[in-house]
Amino acid sequence: MTALRPERDSSPSYGGEAAYGGADAFEGAYGIGGGYGTGGAGVYDAAERLADPLTDPLPGQRQGQPQGGQQEEWYDPEGYARDWYAGQVAAQPQPQPPQPPRQAQVRQQSPSAYEEMYARPPYEATYAPPSYEEPVAAPYQEPVAAPYEEPVATPLTVDDETVGLRVSETPRRAESAAGSGSVPATGGRAARRKAARRHGRRGGAQEAQEPQGDRESAEKGAGAPLSRVEARRAARARKPSAGVIASRVIGEVFITTGVLMLLFVTYQLWWSNVRANQQAGSAANSLQEDWAKGKRNPGTFEPGQGFAILHIPKLDVVSPIAEGIDKQKVLDRGMVGHYAEGATKTSMPDAKTGNFGIAGHRNTHGEPFRYINRLQPGDEIVVETQDDYYVYEMAAILPVTNPGNTSVLDPIPKGSTFTKPGRYITLTTCTPEFTSKYRMIVWGKMVEDRPRSKGKPDALVE
């Protein structure tokens, strides 16, 4: 729809036709055939095209063709309006009226002049397409692989529902992959198998050695919660098998047995000697005190009762002699026992003739006879009693004999160098060391019966 066409104002204030010199003057000046007569339709069409912004010429551009084949001045509506308004202002000192609408001015022109004046310039004259330049490809650069970073294990978290541990990829897998020169496989089980086939048999062996729980947790992803079934399965996998439990029990039994054996050996070889020496020393001191007080007299003694003291100066042995050879009451207490019962009964040292037989431990429990194998013929053996010192000299030794050979205790011992009755002494002990399979025998012959009133014999004097 076209805009309203304002009528021409013929008032003197705006000039009207008189201002323009009349209709004839306007038509004659611009060569338009008739003001609003025959040429009016062309002017209206030109005014309507002027209202269209697509046909509006660029500012300052002159258009149109010369009328009637003659070169004419270009019509400048804006310049003409300025001149006209300047003349009016100079003629009448009053405020300048507003410029009439552009369409009203253009209507006075001929359609052909308007079309020629405001004809749209060619497309090529107003717009030039940009020149196309071939894009230059950037030089190829070799992609640089990002440095491998050691995976960091996330802190263990506990799932409230399944109470299952959430673990990340174990560092051990990354270390094994780094050591083999391959990149650790990520993803599911199929991806790890492909990676194992690519990197050889070693990678597959390492994957096979991984615990089932680690593989399942890696497949689930670091931090993914385990279901109840998976949590129970992992708990069963963590439980040791029957073979593992049996091996643990056997190992603990062996360890306990070894510790007990070590304690027993320590007791036998060290503590029993310490204890027996204490008991033997206490018995010898008590016996000497009784002698000094006159409480004991020679005669018959009860089993386990001490009555004499044995001295072997070469072996530095000082041990009390008690009645009987009972193991617990006499021998294990670090004392030497006198054969005084049954078929093995022997005489006392104060007898005019006979064999004084005694026994003692070679190992453990004080071991008074441990080194009797070192005695040589002529070494002194002294038996101290309440009234006398009986001095014997070592005469012979029998290194090994049967434990049932009691003839070594006869008044004239068999196997010794003695051929007639006399006053003899016989020492018996076990052999070899730390066993009781055989017996070792040492014999001696009395060389001096010295009363205590005469003092100690030379063998006991330092």
Distance CA 113, CA 48 (A): 14
Question: Are 423 and 353 contacting, i.e. CB atoms less than 8 angstroms apart?
Answer: yes
Distance CA 169, CA 154 (A): 9
In this structure, what token pair is assigned to residue 316?
A: 């530095």
| Contacts for 380 with CB less than 8 Å, ≥ 6 apart | 312, 313, 314, 391, 392, 393, 394, 457, 459
Distance CA 225, CA 234 (A): 13
Distance CA 189, CA 185 (A): 9
Helices and strands, number each (H, E), in the chain: 14, 10
In this structure, what token pair is assigned to residue 14?
A: 């705006």
Distance CA 133, CA 164 (A): 64
**Three-state secondary structure call for residue 204:** helix
Active site residues: 361, 430, 439
Degrees to nearest 5, angle at CA 62 with 61 and 64: 135
| Contacts for 274 with CB less than 8 Å, ≥ 6 apart | none
Distance CA 82, CA 316 (A): 155
DSSP 435-452: --SEEEEEEEEEEEEEEG
